[in-house]
Amino acid sequence: MGKICAEKIHMENPPCPAVIEKWIDDPEVSGCIRAYMFRLDEGGSVLITGGSRTHVGAFSRTAPGRDTETIQFPGHKDGVVSSRWSETLCRVLGEPFSVECGIHFDGLSKNGIGLVVQICGEMLEEACRFYKSCESDGTSVV
């Protein structure tokens, strides 16, 4: 019988996410949006999910001096949020960022979509403050 060989995966300090969580209690939009933020040795990665069905609707990445690349799956509008987050975090920190986004609330009107985008914008401001505070005091986000 042949020998079975398995590679052992070892990580000294596996990245743990910082999380921003916002609850929405509106007649049209009720639920939670979460941003899981990972700080890597160079750059970062964010996963934004929420609503009644978590999923990946869009993926954006931005590197300094490069245009943002976004993949948005058919029928989704999540690229609005993922590209804004990716571009802003890259600009603020001067490092590459990738952002995956999937937020779903059933039957939203334009006003409901606007509220979700507004909440995500507030979360982005909080994320920028958080990342900048970690940079300025020398601590790691992970």
DSSP for 24-46 reads: EE-SS-EEEEEEEEEE-SSSEEE
pTM for the predicted model, two decimal places? 0.84
**Helix or strand or coil: residue 52?**
coil
State the pLDDT confidence band at 120, using cuts at 50, 70 and 90: very high
Q: What is the pLDDT of residue 8?
A: 45
Percent of the chain with pLDDT over 70: 82
Tell me the CA distances in angstroms from 42 to 65, 67, 102, 108, 115, one per residue in order.
Answer: 15, 18, 24, 37, 32
Q: What is the pLDDT of residue 3?
A: 46
What is the fold, at CATH topology level, of the domain defined by 18-131? Ribosomal Protein S5; domain 2 (3.30.230)
For the chain, the domains span 18-131
Q: What is the pLDDT of residue 20?
A: 95
State the pLDDT confidence band at 5, using cuts at 50, 70 and 90: very low
**Alpha helix stretches (DSSP H) within the chain:** 79-93, 110-136
For residues 99-120, give the mean pLDDT: 94
In terms of pLDDT, which residue wins out, 2 or 86?
A: 86
Residues 6+ apart with CB under 8 A from 9: none
